[in-house]
Amino acid sequence: MAGTSTLNRFYLLLLVIAVGGGGLLFWQVRRKVPSIPANVTVTAADTAGFQGYFMGKADAPVVITEYADFQCPACQTFDMVQFPDVVRQLIEGGQVRWRYRDFPLSGHPFSRLAAHAAACADEQDRYWQQHAMLYQGQSQWAREAEPSGTFRGYAQQIGLDVAAYDACMLSAKYAGRIQASYDEGVRVGVGSTPTFLAGGRLYEGVQGSDALKKLADSLAGAAAATR
């Protein structure tokens, strides 16, 4: 009798595992996966009141625009290695206002999805936190078959209302904004990422914080001389 009871408990455990696993599989199959289309028609509403993601004082004498792709390894290098020094030396000091624009490259299948994940975080005033998470985790999610779950995990980590984030992602409402950002980059001559625009000139490739400080000092001096 004892052996029969043990065997029955064993089969019951297998049944629970099977049902639970089946439920997980069912959830995974039924889970809606966001998709962000490319080459969409940009409407006036997509760009109204939005010129990019800014960091720094509005009255800073110098504006530097970064055109970048969240799936670009060189962009990750800049964001993780050089950008913290740029923030400390130039942005927090009030010398530079930083402007980030999405430039999703066609060879990077998840760059628009990542850009949209950041845009949805911006709805909850957490853009730069999600921006940092996306670059920090790039080496992982860029190898995944479908990284939207990873991006959702970042949203949870930075304290977003996940239900609102999910609705935003499934709506693909910022596809036009991302396209408009890309189109702007093309118009000014961007051909690769990262590319920086400052003082009407483009600077391609990863720029060191010291080089950017020298550039900002030069532009600020020129602006002061013309006043």
Token pair for 200? 């009407």
What residue type is 156 in one-letter code? Q
Over residues 156-167, the mean pLDDT reads: 98
Per residue in 41-83, pLDDT tens?
999 999 999 999 999 999 999 999 999 999 999 999 999 999 9
pLDDT tier for residue 123 given thresholds of 50, 70 and 90: very high
Token pair for 39? 């080459």
Per residue in 24-35, pLDDT tens?
333 343 468 999
Question: Which percentage of the chain shows pLDDT scores above 90?
Answer: 82
Q: How far apart are CA 128 and CA 126, in angstroms?
A: 6
150 or 18: whose pLDDT is higher? 150
Weakest-pLDDT range from 13-27, 50-64, 161-175, 191-205: 13-27
Q: How far apart are CA 73 and CA 86, in angstroms?
A: 19
Nearest to 154 by CA among 182, 181, 193, 116: 116
